[in-house]
Amino acid sequence: MKTFTLEEITQITGGMLTKVQDAKIEHIAPPLLADENTLALALGEDEIANLAKSKAKAALVPLGVQIDGLTTIEVERPRLAMMKLITLFYKEPEVNEGIHPSASVHPEAKLGQNVKIGPNVVVSRGAQIGDNTRIVANVYIGSDAKIGSNCFFHPGVNIGDRVQIGNDVILQHGVSLGADGFSFVTENPDNIEQARKEGHIKEGTADNHVIFKIPSIGSVVIGNNVEIGANTTIDRGTIENTTIGDNTKIDDLVMIGHNCKIGKGCLIVSQVGIAGSCVIGDRVVLAGQAGLADHIEIGSDSIITAKAGVTKSFPEKSIVVGIPAVPRKEFIKQLKTMKDAQEIFAKFRKYEPLLKEFEDNINNDNN
């Protein structure tokens, strides 16, 4: 069991220690779950209030918070300090040393130094895996895939042919990289093409039209220090590669279509769907369940809010809201207009009897 002194915790977090009593820290937990050997994490007002009910001898608190009778470590950025502490106590999934006997590694694959490969992993012909990369059970790595150093792949990851992955990449359970893109064509213009071009669908569209698959001969390129969440899928490009920039973090259950270009340092939250051939700039945030239509561009440092339905491009530093998505200021203006309209309608209903009486009088005078 890992144990740390209060002084060690203070040095690691870069905090300021106010010591009332000594303690050996073996765990971290919220105040109500903490005991005498646990550092209570009181990062917000509710947790700070709960310290009065806690059994903990010491607590991590925001800068400027002091509790009578309790040892505190004050930090300027509590969430950053929490990350450092969790890293101390985190235990990664176990991976066997070397290559597990049940793994299948092609003779033409190239493995770097200290590579660890778990049960039932398949490494195909021509694949390359960099130094210190660890691959847990039931992972498939396609032909000529290139994987960098210090990567960690959780169980059930599938990596297609020719996919390129940088250094320090984490792939969570069930990630799929490099499946064929959702790309098809019909012999004659279909209803989607008609709707886009003419704004309506003509009658007499053939019922027996054939949908032809367009194969994907591009692949997927993942930059350095990228993390991709469980059951996220990133499709290969039709001709050029689908790309994900350095330091981008992608949540669970995200779909990124073929030919997309995602920039550096982006945050893409769960259940986002990005249709094919979108270009996303650097440091863009796509909040949960946002959807992007194909062939649009989102400029760097933009925020797409949750459940936004994005049907057109937006420049850098945009804050985009709603369905269909519009700039935040315009969305607020729309809400105000709707509120004003409700007030006007309420006044109309109030005076509607007088208006009807007035109209009746005019009609009687005309008769």
Tens digits of residue pLDDT in 349-360: 777 777 777 666
Average pLDDT over residues 272-301: 97
Better-predicted residue by pLDDT, 86 or 330? 86
Length of the chain: 367
Per the DSSP assignment, residues forming a β-bridge with 341 are none
- Find the CATH number of the domain harbouring 193: 2.160.10.10
CA 73 vs CA 9, 15, 86, 214, 283: distances in Å: 8, 6, 16, 59, 32
pLDDT of residue 366: 66
The pLDDT confidence band at residue 206, using thresholds 50, 70 and 90, is: low
Q: Which residues are catalytic?
A: 258
Residue pLDDT, tens place only, 100-136: 999 999 999 999 999 999 999 999 999 999 999 999 9
Output 216 or 330, whichever has higher pLDDT. Answer: 216
Q: From CA 143, how far away is CA 22, in angstroms rounded?
A: 57
User: Tell me, what's the pLDDT at 190?
Assistant: 72
Q: What pLDDT was estimated at residue 66?
A: 86
125 and 264 assigned to the same domain: yes
Average pLDDT over residues 55-59: 93
DSSP state of 300: T
When pLDDT is cut at 50, 70 and 90, the band that residue 91 belongs to is: confident
Q: Which of 89, 118, 146 is at the close of a domain?
A: 89
Do residues 219 and 240 make contact, with C-beta atoms less than 8 angstroms apart? Answer: no
Domain that residue 13 falls in: 4-89
Q: What is the pLDDT of residue 192?
A: 72
Residue 98 within any structural domain of the chain: no
pLDDT of residue 204: 59
Q: How large is the average pLDDT for residues 73-101? A: 91
Return the exposure string of 107-136: e unless at least 16 CB atoms fall within 10 Å of the residue's CB, then b: eebebeeebbbbeebbbbebbbbbebbbbb
> Do 301 and 194 share a structural domain?
yes
Q: What is the pTM of this model?
A: 0.82
Res. 208 pLDDT band, cuts 50 70 90: low
For residue 94, being part of any structural domain is answered with: no
Q: Is residue 99 part of a domain?
A: no
| Percent of the chain whose predicted confidence (pLDDT) is above 90 | 73
For 261-285, how does the pLDDT look when each residue is reduced to its tens digit (9 = 90+)? 999 999 999 999 999 999 999 999 9
For residue 244, being part of any structural domain is answered with: yes
Task: Place 365 in a pLDDT band, splitting at 50, 70 and 90.
Answer: low
Report if residue 262 sits inside a domain.
yes
Q: Are 6 and 58 in contact (CB under 8 A)?
A: yes
The token pair that represents 284 in the structure block? 């863009």
Alpha helices in 166-240 (DSSP H): 191-198
Helix or strand holding residue 291 (H, E)? strand 291-292
Co-location of 113 and 253 in the same domain: yes
Do residue 222 and residue 316 come from a single domain? yes
**Residue owning tokens 């209570």:** 40
Q: How many domains does the chain have?
A: 3
Proportion of the chain above pLDDT 70, given as a percent: 93
Considering the domain architecture, whether residues 280 and 178 belong to the same structural domain is answered as: yes
Structure-block tokens of residue 171: 């792939």
Average pLDDT, the chain: 91
Judge if 246 and 319 occupy the same domain.
Answer: yes
For residue 293, list its beta bridge partners. none
DSSP letter assigned to residue 187:
S
Confidence label for 324 from pLDDT (cuts 50, 70 and 90): confident
SS3 for 349?
Answer: helix
Q: Is residue 97 part of a domain?
A: no
CA angle 25, 27, 33 (to 5 degrees): 115
Shared domain for 233 and 293, answered yes or no, is yes
Cα–Cα distance, 153 to 116 (Å, whole number): 10
Mean pLDDT of 136-162: 97
